[in-house]
Amino acid sequence: MMRQYELVERVRRYNPHADEELLDRAYVYAMKAHGAQRRASGDPFYSHPLEVAAILTDLKLDDATIVAAVLHDVIEDTDSTREEIERIFGPDIARLVEGLTKLKRLDLVSKRAVQAENFRKLLLAIAADVRVLLVKLADRLHNMRTLRFMPPEKQARIAEETLEIYAPLAGRMGMQSMRDELEELAFQHLMPEAAATIKTRLDELRKKNGKIIASVEKELRDELSMRGIEASVEGRQKLPYSIWRKMERKSIAFEQLSDIFGFRVCVNKVEDCYRVIGVVHTKWPSVPGRFKDYISTPKENDYRSIHTTVVGPGRQRVELQVRTHDMHDVARYGIAAHSLYKDGRVADREILTRESRAYQWLQRTIDLLAEGDSPEEFLEHTKLELFPDQVFCFTPKGQLIALPRGATPIDFAYAVHTDVGNSAVGAKINGRIAPLGSELQNGDEVEIVRAEGQVPPAVWEKLVATGKARAAIRRATRDAVRTQYTNLGKQIVMRAFERAGKPFAEDKLKAALPRLARLGIDEVLAAVGRGEIYSGDVVKAVYPDFSEDRKGVAQPSRPEEGWFGLPKAESLVFKFPGRTSESAPLPIHGLQGDLPVRFAPNGGAVPGDRIVGILTPGEGITIYPIQSPDLTAFDDQPERWLDVRWDLEAGHQGFFPARILVTAINEPGTLGMIATVIGDMGANIDNITIHVISPDFREMIIDLEIADLKHLNGVVSELRTKPVVSKVERVNG
């Protein structure tokens, strides 16, 4: 257990001018505040903040951060207040402790919406002062080191949260040493067998290759010394979690890994880095495609090094990282290595923003909070940004754009500017026309072809790898849908005014906005287009003396009649003869015997859907699409779930049940137009149920017979192009 005098000594090693009296005062205050409180390990509670502070001394942080670490639990877990801490320790330390108290209350492994909102709060808290994040990461690291004392269910929750949020966040801030330890500890708790197996294999490999590693180190060191290059050479080994992640990502076995061992060369000056590369590539042949220069083009987390792979002694592939000692400090400690955190100095945000790419990323991420995205979208965007395996591309003018691995020209366009992405219609990669879904490679020059008035299609969301692009596409899609509803609503409103015999004027509608409880004309029109406001109510708002009790105006011509002149009812059912029976045999894979098979009653399933079978004793198997909400009824009956999949012959001509929900304008000819579209697309109507949802709109639930998912999507897309159709969506359950 860390002692107070040991903590003071650790601080004085890197800061001889440390305020020892301040550190002692913080220790005494924390010890008295926590009193007899104990941790799950049985240690006094105040031992934890001391250990957290000790971790931060490895980062050589200022006195205020060390004191904040010692005090970080007192507001949450004792009777201490922010006011009392400010009075005793000053406003800077009080602000840090309060920020840490807010973070401690966040639960990042919870229901998605709650998790997302809490993550927003976390980033907002650390945006004000990044030292809050440094203390929080150290706090999490010590908790992970002592996680074995917690109940098993808490161990899994905390380890998952660490692997999903805190370790990547440490990496994004360039703090690779802390990220590595967090990942390894979480890996051991979440997948103990995998971690133990890989560790055993590594130990065996180290014993086998130990002499080779030592000989390569010596040969490298001697070769550089002969050329007058002062350098330290150190062999390194990949960590178990890093190995497991690569095996999972590339679907390869342990024996197929060629980069388990590598070597790090640290020199004094940047020019020496390139001299080392010259020596190494002269002595040993390099492996094509394995040279990366992160010195001239640093990573987004400030990481700088040169990576290369050569065929070294004994025909062994040898990976090398070459960097200066200063770069090595940044690679280990990231943003905490910045000089503005040293010697009691407080970071200046403007200088930090200018000098640290990691801090720039944090500020850009915080700026997204003002974009109006939902918490869930913000969380998704940030998680995408937390795992950057980068490629570097260029604009035609030479501007460097860093993107994650798997990025496309669409990502590139949005990285340049949101307007460029929204107006993109094509791309040229290295001077050649290429699909917008092409995966970009390092060094590609990308030119975006633009067109005014272009709206990014929603399908682009599946083609992008960056959160920024995904968020922008969703915003543009929402705006386009809103515009569509606004235009549709305007047509409906103008027809309503025409039927009423009243002139339509936007200035009069603007004056009537308070009566419609809307802030703008577009809001009214969009609400009419969505069916939220009845068009007759808009006429009444503009002309209060208007009455709808007139023959032929805003109501059916005879009270007993409804839409299309049919008898008025809450819902009308039309039954059409089908071409296939619900009990028709369905070829499925993995089942024994001759059990009867049928489709889910509410929406069916079509080839192309991921499906699951539910076994009902005495009745057979019911096939559901995996997204069907009806499956929740079987959550507590896992014995009834069967793994099934489509097993159809090529060229199969059968039809399968699917259900769609169509919202359409209430006017003559609508049903005929919808039925014609479905017939022209080669689908069959099995059943229609019509509901009255407002005087202007009707809702139709249509059961179809469809060949496959592509066929269904084609029917839906064609229906959406018709002016009488407001909305079409598939229904499952």
Tell me the catalytic residues: 76-77
Read off the DSSP letter of residue 656: E
17's tokens? 């001018």
Q: Which of 125, 32, 41, 37 is nearest to 77 (CA)?
A: 37
Phi, psi (deg, nearest 5) at residue 686: -100, -30
Q: Please count the CA atoms within 13 angstroms of the CA of 82 that sit on its side-chain side.
A: 11
What distances in angstroms separate CA 164 from CA 117, 182, 412, 528, one per listed residue?
16, 11, 26, 43
Return the ∠ at Cα 721 (arms to 716 and 723), rounded to 5°. Answer: 125
Label the pairing between strands 292-293 and 306-311: antiparallel
Query: How far is 143 from 52, CA to CA, in rounded Å?
Result: 9
169's tokens? 């966040």
Task: Indicate the SS3 state at residue 441.
Answer: coil
Helices then strands (H, E): number in the chain? Answer: 28, 19
> Are 458 and 477 spatial neighbours (Cβ–Cβ below 8 Å)?
yes
> Are 310 and 253 spatial neighbours (Cβ–Cβ below 8 Å)?
no
Q: Which of 570, 591, 579 is nearest to 683 (CA)?
A: 579
Residues contacting residue 274 through CB under 8 Å, at least 6 positions apart: 306
Where are any strands of DSSP class E within 146-189?
Answer: none
| Other CB atoms within 10 Å distance of the CB of residue 240 | 22
* Amino acid making up residue 145: R
| Other CB atoms within 10 Å distance of the CB of residue 15 | 18
Alpha helices, H only, 423-574: 467-500, 506-511, 513-516, 521-529, 535-542
Residues contacting residue 25 through CB under 8 Å, at least 6 positions apart: 88, 89
632's tokens? 């929740």
Query: How far is 85 from 216, CA to CA, in rounded Å?
Result: 55
> Are 415 and 426 spatial neighbours (Cβ–Cβ below 8 Å)?
no
Task: Indicate the SS3 state at residue 315.
Answer: helix
Phi, psi (deg, nearest 5) at residue 720: -65, -20
Does an H or E element contain 380, and which?
helix 375-385
By CB atoms closer than 10 A (0-12, 13-18, 19+), residue 367 is: exposed
> Are 19 and 97 spatial neighbours (Cβ–Cβ below 8 Å)?
no
Return the ∠ at Cα 540 (arms to 536 and 541), rounded to 5°. Answer: 115
Question: Dihedral (C-alpha) 334, 337, 341, 344: value to the nearest 10 degrees?
Answer: 150
Strand order in the sheet with 656-665: 571-575, 684-694, 697-706, 656-665, 725-731
> Are 657 and 686 spatial neighbours (Cβ–Cβ below 8 Å)?
yes
Task: Indicate the SS3 state at residue 402.
Answer: strand
Beta bridge mates, 293: 306
Q: Which residue has the tokens 């479905």?
A: 678
Residues contacting residue 442 through CB under 8 Å, at least 6 positions apart: 292, 391, 392, 393
